[in-house]
Amino acid sequence: MNSEHPEEQDGRPVGRRVFLGTLGLGALGVLAAPTLQRGLEDFLGDVAGKDPTGLTGLLPNGGGFRYYSVAASVPHRTAADYRLTIDGLVDRPRGYTLAELRSLPQTRLVKDVQCVTGWRVPGTPFEGVRLSELLDAAGVRSSAKALRFTCFDGTYTESLTLDQARRPDVLVALRMQDKDIGHDHGGPVRLYVAPMYFYKSAKWLSGITVTDRVKPGYWENLGYEVDAWVGRSNGRTDEPTS
Ligand SMILES: Nc1nc2c(c(=O)[nH]1)N[C@H]1C(S)=C(S)[C@@H](COP(=O)(O)O)O[C@H]1N2
Ligand SMILES: [Mo]
């Protein structure tokens, strides 16, 4: 067993809490997908960790990424019908089309992607609009403390504190791996929270609501940390490589 896979360590409290929480939901789709996926992921994780030759590029979802969705099916959105709404404790709530987001200044980051289950994709380029820029444009009120993110899969949610959201390495991402983000990776727009585990990077992003307190997101309600700093949360002790 690979010690990079914290969920496999017997008695690890977070993993067990997550597993029981998932069972408690009784939703077969939610339980089945990750469970069936795990065996393959262990294999892929080992390959990604030990074989630098690019073998993972030949596997489904090449480049080392695993496909994740807690929703059984997700509608497709294009430039014609995509909207991102910013509302809540702001002076100027509004919706953005994809063209409007593309017309704003774009920031490019190249960092490692790290899933909490152990797999990692080093040096992945993401590009998009700094979340801080959208917040400034919306005029965040003084009573605001946090953000709640919603997705057009209808199920997934995420959260950040306002301080976290204002970091320069947090993007509303339009491009990943130097391509427009495709549907499977959460396109046309996903969140990208570079310093945190990849579950914070909500796919199919459709709503940002400014709130007066943190409302834990989907995985956080099932036991994962709200402050998901890579290497400093979820029981991991290793440090990120960049
Ligand atoms: N809407 C949505 N966003 C999501 C998820 C999800 O299930 N639904 N899974 C999260 C997790 S746990 C990971 S590791 C990444 C996976 O992104 P990928 O499918 O592009 O590899 O998306 C994150 N964002
Ligand atoms: Mo993940």
How many whole angstroms separate alpha carbon 137 and alpha carbon 94? 10
Residues 37 and 155 in one domain: no
The rounded Å distance from CA 1 to ligand 1 centre is 24
Distance 157 CA to ligand 1 centre (A): 11
- pLDDT tens digits for 116-154? 888 899 999 999 999 999 999 999 999 999 999 999 999
Q: The domain that contains 96 carries what CATH number?
A: 3.90.420.10
Atom 10, ligand 1: which residue's CA is nearest?
199
CA 97 – CA 228 distance, rounded (Å): 29
In whole angstroms, give the CA distance from residue 167 to residue 179.
24
pLDDT surpassing 50 at residue 28: no
Domain count, the chain: 2
More confident residue, 206 or 10: 206
The β-bridge partners of 176 are 126, 179
130 and 43 share one domain: no
Residue 125 neighbours by CB under 8 Å, 6+ apart: 108, 109, 110, 175, 176, 177, 178
Contact 181 CB / ligand 1 (< 6 Å) = no
Q: What is the best residue among 65, 179, 201, 234 to mutate for testing ligand 1's pocket, by most ligand atoms within 8 Å of CB?
A: 201
For ligand 1, whether the C-beta of 204 sits within 6 Å is yes
Q: Indicate if the pLDDT at residue 225 is higher than 70.
A: yes
| Rounded percentage of the chain residues whose pLDDT exceeds 70 | 71
pLDDT higher than threshold 90 for residue 73: yes
Q: What is the pLDDT of residue 215?
A: 97
Beta pairing partners, 87: 209
Q: Does 160 share its domain with 184?
A: yes
Pocket test for ligand 1, best of 76, 115, 203, 220 (most atoms within 8 A of CB): 203
For atom 8 of ligand 1, the residue with the nearest CA is: 69
The chain-wide mean pLDDT, for the chain, equals 80
Ligand 1 pocket, 96 CB below 6 A? no
Same domain, 49 and 123: no
Distances from the Cα of 194 to the Cα of 29, 108, 168, 200, 203, angstroms: 28, 11, 9, 9, 14
**Where are any strands of DSSP class E within the chain?**
84-88, 94-96, 107-114, 120-130, 146-151, 157-161, 170-176, 179-180, 190-193, 205-211
Structural domain range at position 79: 75-242
**Exposure string (b/e) for 30-57, b if CB count within 10 Å is 16 or more?**
beebbeeeeeebbebbbebeeeeeeebe
Q: Where are the alpha helices (DSSP H) in the chain?
A: 13-25, 28-50, 98-103, 131-138, 162-165, 218-221
Domain check: are 115 and 181 in the same one?
A: yes
